[in-house]
Structure 1
């Protein structure tokens, strides 16, 4: 359990220990969006806002078949595009982002998804979270993706008290080796989806319980907690 007077060195060691344990718990941690190119991942990540990766993966095969490149996306019929992505929610706003994204890629990047964060964040519908997903998983550039799971878990773990995603990103980046940033994000997301739930975490089945100052906010009985864990 982390102490209230934990030193900076102790915090770094604890964070890296948690990362190692989560790596053992989730050896298959990965981006759960299906994609074959940086552009496909960029589009899928834009669609993933306020919905599940499972839902996005149900939609993108049809979407990518209909609009296989940035030129096709830029010239898409809005009504048709909206209908294809309707089930992901907020489909009108997402369609607007995708149309603008396609046009921007064609006009400024020769139809290709750029490989620099400073370029990605200038695109419609793309913030730092989406940019880091694309950089880490399509280009191999380490990045910390601060989604709702990552933000919740790093605060529960006592790595930072920050709420702003950019501040969280920088705070976590100072604790864990840069080479680990992308995989750490995946491991935290896997853990948040499978064990450390928002409403009632399965504390009694948590592999990092000894390093978590929030242990006890959820179910602590080992058997009942184990029954809560999702595969």
Structure 2
């Protein structure tokens, strides 16, 4: 049996199946990237719910795996060279799992880098901007009398969604006919705009017809539907 005892996180979240990839997550827009990917590629894994409301990412055990104290993170007992390896940052996890299995990323070098640019675009732009818009619109920021911070992020989120709208016109998915890690990176954040954040009116969601159709196609995939709810919230 695989021994993961060298990783302190297994003291906080014991592995019932140490021979399987361990996922530490919560179904947030970032968290579902890892769970959707794992469902899509069919790699056996064990999921551990990390309750961020209880500050479970700030324990010494969790920080030993992810010093940034965020979800998701993984621990792969069969990492490079057959050695166990921990990994954090959702974008890095997507690329790692795609390369490990040879799935959901093009083998052609040019198409591969084109796919990666959309993944990094999500990580560097779409996620941060939509997340800040959501904060100022739905959460504590909603009480701020000065609406300039909210409006700044609304304007940028709307612009980014416009970029996505243009990309998806005439395409089923980001890279064309095939579903890739670029779609996985984006779907959780984009669907949260009219859904979780209730900000559809702010970004003129009704005008984003190609984006809406893409969301529907993504959500219709059984693995996506499952991954959006893994792990189940407490």
TM-score w.r.t. the length of structure 2 is 0.26
Greater fraction of residues in strand: 2
Q: Which has the larger radius of gyration?
A: 1
Greater fraction of residues in helix: 1
